């Protein structure tokens, strides 16, 4: 092995090491920027607009609970193909109840913070559309 080959190998090794360090620094900087982008608006709302912050956090928890409940209801029908009609009826009633609660929460949010309320209404409409039309069944089977 010549001196130039050895020097080239060492240079490539240090280049890989520096590239890896640069990637780590970029990932950490991206994580810090993302954390700042999420935390700073929440902090500002908590300090300056407490009502809006409370509504936003409560709406987030409600949306997460609705999502978990809908997933559990949809998964329940897949696990047991012999679900009775009563179980299916309860799932439909609960789904409509959850959509009603979501509509009420969206209305309250529209009155308190119209921009967030409009966004919540769009999300609610998308969820209702998925619930109504997103299942594997055909919706026009009666025609």
Tell me the pLDDT tens digit for each residue of 119-132. 888 888 777 777 66
Query: In this structure, are 70 and 87 located in the same domain?
Result: yes
143 compared with 118, residue with greater pLDDT: 118
Q: Is 143 part of any domain?
A: no
Q: Is 79 part of any domain?
A: yes
37 compared with 68, residue with greater pLDDT: 37
Query: In this structure, are 38 and 68 located in the same domain?
Result: no
Per residue in 90-119, pLDDT (tens digit) is: 777 777 787 787 788 888 878 888 887 788
Closest alpha carbon to 70 in 131, 139, 120, 126: 131
Query: In this structure, are 102 and 74 located in the same domain?
Result: yes
Closest alpha carbon to 38 in 26, 22, 56: 56
Q: How confident is the model at residue 137 (pLDDT cuts 50, 70, 90)?
A: low
Query: In this structure, are 1 and 28 located in the same domain?
Result: yes
Query: In this structure, are 65 and 35 located in the same domain?
Result: no
Q: Is 68 part of any domain?
A: yes
Q: Is 116 part of any domain?
A: yes
In this predicted structure, what is the pLDDT of residue 112? 83
Count of alpha carbons within 13 Å of 106, Cβ hemisphere only?
16
Q: What is the mean pLDDT of the chain?
A: 79
Q: Which domain holds residue 62?
A: 50-135
Q: Structurally, how many domains does the chain consist of?
A: 2
Residues whose CB is less than 8 angstroms from the CB of residue 118 and which lie 6 or more positions away in sequence, other chains included: 110
Query: In this structure, are 79 and 35 located in the same domain?
Result: no
Q: Is 142 part of any domain?
A: no
Query: In this structure, are 73 and 129 located in the same domain?
Result: yes
Closest alpha carbon to 119 in 47, 60, 75: 60
Contact predicate 43/57, CB 8 Å:
no
Percent of the chain with pLDDT over 90: 18
Q: How confident is the model at residue 85 (pLDDT cuts 50, 70, 90)?
A: low
Query: In this structure, are 60 and 27 located in the same domain?
Result: no
Q: How confident is the model at residue 77 (pLDDT cuts 50, 70, 90)?
A: low
In this predicted structure, what is the pLDDT of residue 86? 56
**pLDDT for 82 beyond 60:** no
Q: Give the pTM.
A: 0.42
Query: In this structure, are 72 and 106 located in the same domain?
Result: yes
Query: In this structure, are 34 and 58 located in the same domain?
Result: no
Q: Is 127 part of any domain?
A: yes
């Amino acid at each position: 092995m010549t001196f130039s080959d050895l020097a080239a190998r060492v240079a490539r090794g240090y280049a890989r090491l520096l590239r890896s360090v640069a990637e780590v620094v970029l990932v950490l900087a991206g994580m810090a920027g993302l954390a700042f982008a999420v935390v700073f608006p929440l902090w500002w709302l908590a300090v300056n607009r407490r009502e809006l912050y409370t509504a936003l956090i409560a709406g987030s928890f409600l949306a997460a609970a609705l999502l978990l409940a809908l997933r559990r209801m949809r998964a329940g029908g897949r696990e047991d193909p012999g679900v009775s009609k009563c179980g299916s009826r309860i799932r439909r009633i609960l789904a409509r109840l959850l959509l009603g609660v979501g509509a009420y929460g969206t209305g309250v949010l529209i009155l308190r913070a119209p921009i967030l309320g409009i966004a919540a209404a769009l999300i609610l409409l998308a969820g209702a559309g998925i619930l109504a039309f997103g299942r594997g069944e055909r919706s026009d089977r009666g025609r």
